[in-house]
Amino acid sequence: MRRWKWRIALSAGNLLLAIGMSAIGLREWAIDSAHHVGGIGYEPTAQWLSYCINAPPFAFTNLLLNFAMGHHLLPSGWWDVHCFHFVRYEYYVALFLLWWWIGWKIDMKLAARESGRSWTIAESSIGLVLSLMLLFVGSMDVGNDYGIHAVAWSMVGWGTVLMYYFLVYLWPMRLRRTAPRVG
């Protein structure tokens, strides 16, 4: 259990937090949406705060589902499946997986174990693609009048931090390869 401590704590904790914020957001929407024309364009405060905290899963699931819908990869009945106010189940799955991975990295560091070289390169490559996606989507939405600017800035922030992490994470791999062996 100790080996899995952060994986379980971060993934379960953030999932429960996001579900709780979605439930609060649903209540906010029921109370405040009457002030907005048909509730269009209204996003409950608790919900967009959850999106800011969990910007990578939010951006990833939106892009994935937009691509799938645009290319007719999903049946049309799947487009309107929501758990709470316009929150898809895929968001919670991606959120759980992101925090599981972050917890796994922390558990590996605490156990003083390292991943293999090929796994590290693959993981860093995927992370760089994710960070570029966040930077691109966030920077496009910052100037958009229809989006919530806090979520867009959160995407830019997450993208910047992830890009820094993965670039620094890849750098020691090059140094280890070129360093002369002693002994």
Whether 22 and 85 have beta carbons less than 8 Å apart is answered as: yes
pLDDT at 37: 57
pLDDT mean for each 10 residues of the chain (183 residues): 81 91 82 60 79 88 74 60 71 90 84 75 85 89 72 91 84 55 55
Q: How much is the pLDDT for 62?
A: 80
**CA-to-CA distance for 160 and 78, rounded, in angstroms?**
33
Length of the chain: 183
Buried (b) or exposed (e) across 117-140, using 16+ Cβ within 10 A? eeeeeebbeebbebbebbbebbee
Q: Whole-prediction pTM value?
A: 0.74
73 burial type by CB count under 10 A (0-12 exposed, 13-18 middle, 19+ buried): exposed
Which is nearest to 154 in space by CA: 135, 127, 129? 135
pLDDT, residue 17, reads: 92
What is residue 140's predicted lDDT score, i.e. its pLDDT?
Answer: 84
Q: What distance in Å separates the CA atoms of residue 155 and residue 142, rounded to the nearest whole number?
A: 9
The distance of Cα 103 from the centroid of its chain, to the nearest Å, equals 14
